Amino acid sequence: MTAHQETAPRPPHQVLDGTDIARVITRIAHEIVERAKGAEDVVLLGIHTRGVHLARRLHTRLAQITGQDIPLGTLDITMYRDDLRLKPARALEHTEIPSGGIDGRLVVLVDDVLFSGRTIRAALDALNDIGRPRAVQLAVLVDRGHRELPIRADYVGKNLPTSLREAVQVRLSDRDGVDAVLVGDRDFAAASRSARTEQDAQAMAAQATESHLPE
């Protein structure tokens, strides 16, 4: 075995498929109804990006279980992150709060992966500028551990012990064309993201060129 082969990053392996994710959403929805005693005052807020798609699915399941239209919104935490100076500028997403607001309500934040806890800290800061909920709970598809802040999830789809050298990739059909949770080497994940970014850039350049070709 060569040195290159020894250090080559391993491709990710799948730990959840579409059926698993659907089952998790259903279970979390039932847990919310049980803990909230009917979910009458629940407001769902999905954290961009994949947390929004998960919140929409959770909203659908809650409606099927309770027969109620649970208020649903989205939360952009970009300007509340504590790493703004350390990473490239990010595009702002859209925060959408239901018309009834969040004051006095039970807000359930929804995200895909709980890791260091810094994303959720930023979400709590963003909520503080929007209103004063009665309580805030957190639902995540995956909890991979390695917390840096004293934050825990109230509803967890799967506890997934990982090393810091690994990356967890959540793919949702609404955005990625397939439902899956993958775990692999961080270097492999970074290379995959770079490849996708390059492919997207090439596709956009080709479209731009085509649009300017003379007829």
Q: What is the pLDDT of residues 46-69, one digit of tens each?
A: 999 999 999 999 999 999 999 999
Q: What is the pLDDT of residues 128-166, one digit of tens each?
A: 999 999 999 999 999 999 999 999 999 999 999 999 999
Q: Where are the domains of the chain?
A: 12-185
CATH class of 12-185: alpha beta
User: Strands of 166-171's sheet, edge to edge?
Assistant: 13-17, 180-185, 166-171
Percent of the chain with pLDDT over 70: 78
Gap between the Cα atoms of 60 and 64, Å rounded: 6
pTM above 0.75, yes or no: yes
Q: What is the pairing mode between strands 155-159 and 135-143? A: parallel
Q: Is the pLDDT of residue 199 over 60?
A: no
Q: What is the pLDDT of residue 93?
A: 81
Gap between the Cα atoms of 159 and 140, Å rounded: 10
Q: For 46, phi and psi rounded to 5 degrees? A: -85, 130
Highest mean pLDDT, choosing among 7-16, 17-26, 81-90, 190-199 = 17-26
